A and B are shown apart, each in its own frame.
Chain A
């Protein structure tokens, strides 16, 4: 089999507040035999906020990021749900809205780049499922996570709007009944916990302007997982991770109940099953202690 090679768009969070996600991405890629070419030229995607202020600037900056992946002739892999949404949305609009690509390319020309529309943009979770496959992962597991009830937390920007999201990967995901992360848990040998908040919002994007709303959503999510008898949670999104891992105090106060569970990045869970060391996976960088191992 040809070695898998992707252009990696790390996003900002992996370079700052979730260093464990950055480390575990590389640790898992090595185990899976994936070569990652990091897009060190990439800028922030605007995180769904910049376009509230300046839509065109947001498009141009995202188009520049994609243009770098295209220059390498590689599929762009994202490791943040919001990066995935903003980048894929930009691609969709440039490919479909009349005249937009030309307008954006006129700007990119100033810096010697061009958006062509040749690179697919896919979240790491779906890249693994599509290109490696769950059966193959199952075979590669050396430490099955069989003693754990694991609650998947999908994160909005990987499943909605489904019409856009399902353009990027082969496996069609139903946003009301998503299965990909559950499937990955099972492939790692774990037991996936079904609870009604698993495809709901964590509140991250209003943490500053509407802290009460954000905290209640975070609290509900952790409470749902706890009531489902989960030992820990897992998410493909570093922004959800930040909410669920670092905001437990505010969340507990907001919903009037002590809520707390270790939350792993999808890469960390996979890494544990594939036999990566705790150091490689950066487990010490969590605020809610990873105490189940």
Chain B
């Protein structure tokens, strides 16, 4: 279980990215974080594993306050927090297997990771995860030889290799096409359900969030302006989060996208016939 209490973040430039953010994510819940760009979504999830240091507040994962831990304890805590990135952030020149095993770096001493002698249990688990995300036969390929969707699957396997107690997901589908986006999102939901894993998913695609998330939190200018079920996310709330004009424009864009996609599907079907 993750609990944020009155979290603040002010950057050295004086910009306030987060203001009095508090919420609880119970086990097994996948929470979507929506909001316009610059609302602080990215800062919020980076505060949780301290890639960004919060200015004030508490971040409780189990009994530990992540905002207070020192350097070596921070390393130990980061092992428990898996992170999935927007542009996959795989180490491109390493093999798929090495990328998955890099999820174990916090658990093994330097010499073992340096010589690639990971414990047998870790390797077995890495193969199991690759099989789970459907990439077993790609284990020895270099990460940059894979497609976008496949790379994100490796990213998911890497995060799960940490055997995390929490999953942080930063715009997992931003660089993927709509169909692959839904597959990736479904995979994330499934692995969280299988492991009873809480997750926070930054997502800019509102319809996708409504389709998959258990719960949605809306951020605007660093403040929580909505916290509820996807069903409760109506036009008025979205207008409040994104600003009425921007939301109307976004919705129109989405409808056009969907129309175009439906049109493309229909044409492909016609050609196939």
* A and B found bound together: no
Q: Which residues of B contact A (CB under 8 A)?
A: none
